Amino acid sequence: MNTTASDAVDLLNALKPFLEDVEGVDVAVCPPFPYLSLISKTLEGSRILLGAQNMHHEAKGAYTGEVSPAMLKDVGCDLVILGHSERRHIFGETDETIRKKIQSALEFGLRPILCIGETLDDREADKTADVVRRQLKGCLEGFSRQDMEHIILAYEPVWAIGTGRTATPEQAEEVHRLTREWIEEQFDKKAAGSIRIQYGGSVKPGNARQLLEQPDIDGALVGGASLDAESFAAIVQAAIA
User: Catalytic one among 93, 156, 173, 176?
Assistant: 156
Q: How far apart are CA 130 and CA 100, in angstroms?
A: 22
Q: Which residues pair with 28 in a beta bridge?
A: 49
166, 169, 170, 176: CA torsion to nearest 10: 90
Is residue 213 flagged as an active site residue?
A: no
Q: Is residue 224 helix, strand or coil? A: helix
End-to-end CA distance of the chain: 30
Q: How far apart are CA 181 and CA 69, in angstroms?
A: 30
User: Catalytic one among 84, 93, 118, 176?
Assistant: 84
Please answer whether residues 240 and 25 qualify as being in contact, where contact means their C-beta atoms are separated by less than 8 angstroms: yes
Is residue 156 flagged as an active site residue?
A: yes
Active site residues: 84, 156
